[in-house]
């Protein structure tokens, strides 16, 4: 039994009006993206610094433990085992902190991506009321192999988005 592709019919009258938006340009020029990228970078740097500081303290404590152990600096095996157990707990706490900070950053990134998508889609709905495009594509990397530059509405979209964008109030210290 031969599989036949389903027959589709299109009733396009006239030409289809198509446009595209370059995602790379949007990400680098839309103020919302710039602001959130800076916020996420700051949070990432803070997390990395916190983890590095705690990791260095743990390494110093482990080196101190090893030196004391080598120099018979513990009064008993129980004391050495107790210190070693405390170091192990600190290592586990550090791993938990790393996992938690990573999850928080992933969650912030997901919220940002959802807000970006929502902002873009809401803008395009309003924008398209007058432009009347049948299809607006996103161009990221080489997913569109060839397109006439006259179909590129990126600058128009970025300008419109930036006009609508109101930065969130932040507490200045």
What rounded mean pLDDT belongs to the chain? 91
Q: pLDDT digit string (tens) for 120-164? A: 999 999 999 999 999 999 999 999 999 999 999 999 999 999 999
Rounded Cα distance, 63 and 67, in Å: 6
pTM higher than 0.85 for the full model? no
pLDDT score recorded for residue 93: 97
pLDDT score recorded for residue 13: 58
Pairing, β 135-139 against β 18-22? parallel
Q: Are 138 and 20 in contact (CB under 8 A)?
A: yes
- In whole angstroms, how far apart are CA 32 and each of 21, 111, 132? 16, 13, 26
């Amino acid at each position: 039994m031969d599989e036949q592709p389903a027959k589709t019919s299109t009733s396009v009258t006239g030409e289809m009006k198509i446009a595209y938006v370059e995602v790379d340009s949007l990400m680098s020029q839309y103020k919302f993206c710039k602001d959130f990228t800076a916020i996420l970078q700051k949070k990432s740097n803070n997390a990395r610094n916190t983890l590095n500081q705690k990791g260095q303290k743990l390494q110093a404590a482990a080196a101190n433990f090893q030196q004391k152990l080598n120099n018979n600096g513990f009064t008993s095996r129980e004391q050495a085992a107790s210190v070693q157990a405390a170091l192990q707990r600190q290592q586990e706490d550090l791993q938990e902190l790393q996992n938690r900070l990573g999850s928080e950053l992933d969650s912030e990134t997901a919220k940002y991506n959802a807000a970006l998508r929502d902002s873009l889609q809401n803008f395009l709905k309003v924008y398209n009321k007058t432009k009347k495009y049948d299809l607006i594509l996103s161009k990221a990397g080489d997913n569109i192999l060839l397109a006439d530059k006259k179909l590129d509405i990126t600058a128009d979209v970025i300008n419109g988005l930036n006009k609508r964008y109101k930065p969130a109030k932040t507490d200045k210290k």
